[in-house]
């Protein structure tokens, strides 16, 4: 299987654009008729729903945020104002992780599940997964939608899922079921490879043929290291409860956006203007509905608080025509120093310099201290063997890679206004090991 839905995935650009405009009209009509929030929102902003006919019209609408959703649900309000289907049509109820505040509630109909699953099914097929694959999913089967959506997607393409949920499963699972793929974060895949070697199974000689890295953004250097550990390709996948399921194909030339089901625009950080293709902006998405479809939670111009770049709207070498974006990064993982931003991924790129990985496990955390006129970045790195670690080599590689593409920060470093200090620990010595939940690798303590 080369395509999941070939006629849609290979649709010419002019036809994609026309289809998007048609589905925007269906979506706006649905919002007017079924969404308590949008009916009031249209009225408050003097918007006539009937006049929103195209992508360009959609761009004129205000942008909403996660804060807006939280303000329109209990306990702030009596009802879930973003819920836009009758209870009899709601199939499942979900919440986001709540890492940035009160969890946001989302309601999914069966139509929603089919749309979500198709997005992932297209990604899996583009990564050469099919009916003869057995894939271990190391993602939570809970209130988040990711793992369940992948499982439903697998059913659509005839792929078998091993629903572990965590990456601490026994190594025998890989051997007994001859698993061919694993879905997990970069760091889960690194730790698993280490555990396999300890238990006598070389990842490079296992049954695993492909890996999918999801759950968080990553640096290309860390992906390359995982590919080296496993000797298989690692593909990128990006998804959210809001419905932004995108995936790389075997070309690894950006993540394909299923434009017929979700509309994606990029705004500047101030959410005032759209940015051009090739420029970095915040991902703003809109649910797209076909005529007759229902949705439990509808979003128009929703700010995901993730940033990306539109790589191309041209036809990919794989044959797909839908636009491609760079691996998104979380805005919450971006900090500013002397008017210049950097993201956690920039740190990760510096950590995973190939020469460093002779000494490091890849685990790291960093903390910012000081004031605007003098800032210190304290980087803690976990070594494989703390007694046999060339600190000078690691530090030099890190600083060179971290400052290479950030000229203002490099100048501040030369001027002594931005300092980088290092701390090395043995396995298990980093602070985040003492805290439950997903590790926070970049912490601003200024």
Q: How far apart are the first and last CA of the chain?
A: 52
- pLDDT at site 366: 97
**Residue 169 near residue 136, CB atoms below 8 Å:** yes
d(CA 350, CA 368): 16
Torsion of the alpha carbons at 247, 248, 254 and 260, rounded to the nearest 10 = -40
Peptide bond into 75 cis (omega under 30): yes
* pLDDT band with cut points at 50, 70 and 90 for residue 256: very high
Residue 108 is predicted with a pLDDT of: 96
- The helix/strand/coil state of 258 is coil
Between these two residues, 332 and 25, which has the higher pLDDT value?
A: 25
Its pTM stands at 0.92
Name every residue whose Cβ is closer than 8 Å to that of residue 59 and which is 6 or more positions away in sequence. 265, 274
Q: Which residues contact 163 (CB under 8 A, 6 or more apart)?
A: 137, 141, 147, 151
Q: How high is the mean pLDDT of the chain?
A: 93
- Are 359 and 383 in contact, with CB atoms under 8 Å apart? yes
The pLDDT, as a whole number, for residue 240 is 84
Say which DSSP state 297 is in: B
- The helix/strand/coil state of 32 is helix
What DSSP character marks residue 340?
A: E
What is the rounded distance in angstroms from the CA atom of residue 289 to the CA atom of residue 292?
A: 8
Total residue length of the chain: 446
Measured from the Cβ of residue 160, the count of other Cβ atoms closer than 10 Å reads 14
Average pLDDT over residues 436-442: 85
The 10s digit of each residue's pLDDT in 167-206 is 999 999 999 999 999 999 999 999 999 999 999 999 999 9
Domain residues of the chain, as ranges?
1-327, 333-444
Q: How far apart are CA 274 and CA 268, in angstroms?
A: 6
Helix or strand or coil: residue 116?
helix
Give the lowest-confidence range in 16-30, 137-151, 245-259, 418-432: 137-151
Give the pLDDT confidence of 55-69 residue by residue, as tens digits.
999 988 889 999 999
- Rounded to whole angstroms, the Cα distance separating 130 from 235 reads 15
pLDDT at 385 (0 to 100): 93
Q: What is the pLDDT of residue 214?
A: 85
| CA neighbours closer than 13 Å in the CB half-sphere of residue 176 | 7
CA 32 – CA 50 distance, rounded (Å):
9
Q: What is the dihedral of CA 264, 269, 270, 271, to 10 degrees?
A: 0
Residue 339's pLDDT band (boundaries 50, 70, 90)?
A: confident
The answer on pLDDT for 50 being more than 70 is yes
For residue 250, give the 3-state DSSP assignment: coil
pLDDT score for 286? 96
Three-state secondary structure call for residue 9: helix
The answer to whether 182 and 135 are in contact (CB under 8 A) is: yes
- Using one digit for the tens of pLDDT, what is the confidence trace for 287-302? 999 999 999 999 999 9
Taking CA atoms, 187 is separated from 138, 196, 352, in Å, by 12, 14, 12
CATH number for the region 1-327 comes to: 3.40.50.12780
Domain 333-444 fold is GMP Synthetase; Chain A, domain 3 (3.30.300)
Instruction: Identify the band that residue 99 occupies on the pLDDT scale cut at 50, 70 and 90.
Output: low
């Amino acid at each position: 299987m080369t395509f999941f839905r070939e006629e849609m995935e290979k649709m010419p650009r002019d036809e994609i654009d026309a289809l998007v405009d048609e589905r925007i009209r269906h979506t706006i009509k649905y919002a007017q008729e079924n969404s308590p929030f949008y009916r009031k929102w249209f009225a408050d902003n003097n918007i006539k729903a009937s006049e929103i006919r195209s992508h360009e019209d959609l761009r004129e609408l205000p942008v909403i945020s996660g804060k807006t959703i939280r303000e329109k649900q209990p306990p702030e309000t009596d009802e879930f104002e973003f819920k836009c289907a009758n209870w009899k049509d709601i199939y499942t109820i979900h919440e986001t992780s709540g890492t940035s505040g009160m969890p946001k509630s989302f309601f999914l109909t069966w139509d929603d599940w089919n749309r979500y699953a198709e997005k992932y099914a297209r990604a899996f097929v583009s990564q050469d997964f099919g009916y003869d694959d057995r894939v271990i999913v190391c993602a939570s089967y809970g209130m988040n939608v990711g793992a369940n959506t992948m499982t439903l997607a697998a059913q659509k393409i005839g792929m078998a899922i091993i629903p572990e949920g965590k990456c601490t499963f026994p190594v025998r699972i890989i051997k007994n079921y001859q698993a061919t793929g694993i879905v997990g974060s970069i760091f889960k895949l690194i730790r698993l490879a280490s555990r396999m070697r300890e238990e006598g199974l070389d990842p490079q000689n296992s049954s695993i043929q492909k890996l999918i890295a999801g759950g968080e953004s990553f640096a290309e250097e860390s992906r390359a290291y995982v590919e080296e550990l496993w000797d298989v390709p690692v593909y990128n996948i990006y998804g959210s409860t809001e419905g932004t399921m995108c995936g790389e194909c075997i070309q690894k030339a950006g993540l394909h956006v299923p434009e017929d089901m979700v509309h994606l625009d990029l705004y500047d950080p101030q959410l005032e203007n759209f940015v051009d293709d090739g420029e970095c902006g915040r991902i703003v998405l809109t649910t797209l509905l076909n005529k007759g479809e229902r949705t439990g939670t509808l979003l128009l111009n929703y700010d995901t608080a993730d940033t990306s770049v539109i790589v191309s709207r041209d036809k990919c070498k794989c044959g797909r025509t839908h636009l491609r974006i760079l691996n998104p990064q979380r805005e919450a993982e971006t900090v500013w120093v002397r008017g210049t931003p950097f993201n956690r991924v920039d740190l990760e790129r510096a950590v995973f310099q190939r020469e460093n990985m002779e000494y490091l496990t890849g685990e790291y955390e960093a903390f910012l201290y000081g004031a605007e006129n003098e800032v210190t970045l304290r980087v803690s790195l976990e070594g494989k063997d703390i007694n046999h670690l060339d600190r000078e080599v690691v530090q030099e590689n890190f600083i060179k890679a971290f400052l290479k593409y950030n000229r203002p920060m490099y100048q501040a470093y030369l001027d002594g206004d931005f300092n980088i200090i290092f701390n090395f620990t043995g396995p298990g010595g980093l602070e985040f090991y003492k805290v439950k939940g997903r590790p926070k690798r970049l912490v601003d303590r200024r």
